[in-house]
Structures are given as structure tokens and as C-alpha cells.
């Protein structure tokens, strides 16, 4: 199984909540050595707790899997942040330059290997697979690419009406998302709208198309997180 770095959703959440994470980091660093041993036990118990709460609240299976993947990914980052700071304090890694980032990546892979080798964690391989699938969220699915290729003439006809400074905002007003309907249909509509947004950003501002698509999907996450069935459908698109 290929072990990637944290998914873009977790990374994005860490960036927009940077001050909160810094306060959390200060709190964590304030603990005596041994904090990670305690925190690891919380990580081991977390998936089972999500399973119990999900069944009690009537969540769909995909919602439970997605929640476990996002939760473990976030907790892994807290675990490794603390580890790297301790290593820097004790001189095991240089406090500046590329060294902390390279060590962080190495420790993240070590964390996933440890997670996979812990028999107490039920469904651990499935959780890590979903953690890897989260990377799909910011990548246009192949089905979207094929759809755009088939309907490119129509896209070219409507594009001039959107190539204005307010075009992107108008686009999202026109294409309101029904997050309470069929998840797969909503997922396709969201991805198609993000692609049109990327066309606008590329043609008006010279922004790289894939970067614009990824940035758009990450900005939409704050709304989509309230509809985990739609979020799961986006990740599962072909």
C-alpha cells in the first residue's frame, strides 16, 4: 500500500486554523515527555468510538469511513507536530531549514506503518485506504474530463458570458447545489462547476488550471463537510 503525505483537506484545515493549531501546539509542548504515549492510546481508541457514535446516530457506512479517515489524519498531524518539536528541542533534528519538513514526512510514513501494525484497531487497513482516497478530493475525476471533452463546444459557447471579474461569483449563484438530493448527482455538479471556475481563472488571470481546481474544491470543503454523503461521493467518482 502506498503511504502518501496528509490529504489536502487536513492540510487545508491546518492552514486556515493555524492560530488554533499554534495554541494547541503550545499546550502540547507544555506537557512533560510521554505525552505522545498517552495521545497514541487516544488515536487507537478513536476509530472504535466513531463506529459506536455513527451507529447510534444512524450514519451511512461511507460517512463513518470518511469521518474515521479525517479524524485519524488530523490526530496523526498533532502526534507528529509534537514529536518534531521535541526532536528539535533535544537536537535530534535541526530546528530550521529543510530538515524538520523532511523528518516530518518520514515520521508520517512511520506513523501509518505503526497504525497498520496495531491489531487493536479494527478495520485499520480500510481507514488508511480512505486516508489515501482523500487525495482524490482535489483532483478532477476522469469522468469529469470525459464529460467536458464531449461537451466542449457548449462550454466554449457559454464561457464568454462568465469571463468577467464577477464571473466566478455569478457561476456559483447560478449553480446552487442541492446537498440533500442524490449524493452522486450533487458530486458531479460540484466538480463540473469547479472545472468551469478553473476555466475562468485560467483565462482571466493566467492561473494554472489544476491549481485553480484544487483551490476551489478546498474552499468548498467548509460547506461540503456538512454533507458527508456528498463529500464521500466526490471522492468515489470514477
Concatenating the DSSP letter of every residue in 189-210 gives HHHHHHHHHHHHHHHHH---HH
User: 228 in a domain, yes or no?
Assistant: yes
Q: What is the pLDDT of residues 134-193, one digit of tens each?
A: 888 888 999 999 999 999 999 899 888 888 877 777 777 666 677 777 889 999 999 999
Q: Are residues 186 and 217 in the same domain?
A: yes
The pLDDT score that the predictor gives to residue 141 is 92
* 126 and 13 part of one domain: yes
Answering whether pTM is above 0.85, one says no
Domain encompassing residue 217: 139-236
Whether residue 4 contacts residue 137, with contact meaning beta carbons closer than 8 Å, is answered with no
What pLDDT band is residue 221 in, cutting at 50, 70 and 90?
Answer: confident
| pLDDT tier, 30 (very low <50, low <70, confident <90, very high otherwise) | low
* Residues 127 and 153 occupy one common structural domain: no
Q: Is residue 3 part of a domain?
A: no
As a whole number of angstroms, the distance between CA 15 and CA 25 comes to: 14
Domain boundary among 118, 135, 152: 135
* pLDDT band of 32, cuts 50, 70, 90: low
pLDDT, tens digit, 9 for 90 and up, residues 94-115: 777 777 888 888 889 999 999 9
In contact, 39 and 79? CB cutoff 8 Å: yes
Nearest one of 91, 93, 80 to 14, comparing CA atoms: 80
Are 146 and 130 in a shared domain? no
The pLDDT value recorded for residue 8 is 80
**8 Å CB contact between 8 and 214:** yes
pLDDT of 16 reads 66
Domain shared by 157 and 223, yes or no: yes
Query: What is the domain count for the chain?
Result: 2
| pLDDT at residue 6 is higher than 80 | no
Question: Exposure of 198 by Cβ count < 10 A (0-12 exposed, 13-18 middle, 19+ buried)?
Answer: buried
Same domain, yes or no: 173 and 198: yes
Shared domain for 34 and 129, answered yes or no, is: yes
Q: b/e per residue, 115-152, with b = 16+ CB within 10 A? A: beeeeebeebeebbebbebbeebbbbbeebeebbeeee
Q: Residue 127 and residue 64: Cα distance in Å, rounded?
A: 10
| Boundary of a domain, candidates 135, 170, 204 | 135
Residue 1 lies in a domain: no
Amino acid at each position: 500500500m502506498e503511504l502518501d503525505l496528509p490529504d489536502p483537506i487536513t492540510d487545508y484545515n491546518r492552514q486556515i486554523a493555524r492560530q488554533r493549531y499554534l495554541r494547541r501546539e503550545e499546550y502540547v509542548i507544555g506537557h512533560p515527555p510521554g505525552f505522545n504515549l498517552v495521545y497514541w492510546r487516544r488515536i487507537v481508541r478513536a476509530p472504535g468510538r466513531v463506529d459506536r457514535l455513527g451507529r447510534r446516530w444512524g450514519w451511512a457506512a461511507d460517512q463513518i469511513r470518511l469521518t474515521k479517515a479525517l479524524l485519524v489524519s488530523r490526530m496523526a498531524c498533532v502526534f507528529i507536530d509534537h514529536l518534531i518539536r521535541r526532536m528539535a528541542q533535544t537536537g535530534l533534528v535541526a530546528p530550521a531549514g529543510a530538515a524538520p519538513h523532511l523528518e516530518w514526512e518520514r515520521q508520517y510514513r512511520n506513523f501509518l506503518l505503526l497504525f497498520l501494525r496495531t491489531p487493536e484497531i479494527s478495520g485499520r487497513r480500510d481507514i488508511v485506504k480512505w486516508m489515501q482516497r482523500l487525495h482524490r478530493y482535489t483532483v478532477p475525476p476522469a469522468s469529469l474530463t470525459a464529460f467536458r471533452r464531449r461537451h466542449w463546444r457548449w462550454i466554449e459557447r457559454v464561457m464568454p458570458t462568465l469571463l468577467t471579474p464577477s464571473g466566478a461569483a455569478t457561476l456559483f449563484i447560478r449553480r446552487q447545489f442541492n446537498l440533500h438530493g442524490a449524493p452522486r448527482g450533487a458530486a458531479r455538479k460540484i466538480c463540473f462547476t469547479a472545472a468551469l471556475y478553473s476555466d475562468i481563472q485560467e483565462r482571466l488571470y493566467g492561473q494554472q488550471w489544476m491549481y485553480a481546481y484544487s483551490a476551489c474544491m478546498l474552499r468548498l470543503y467548509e460547506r461540503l463537510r456538512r454533507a458527508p454523503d456528498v463529500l464521500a461521493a466526490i471522492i468515489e467518482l470514477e
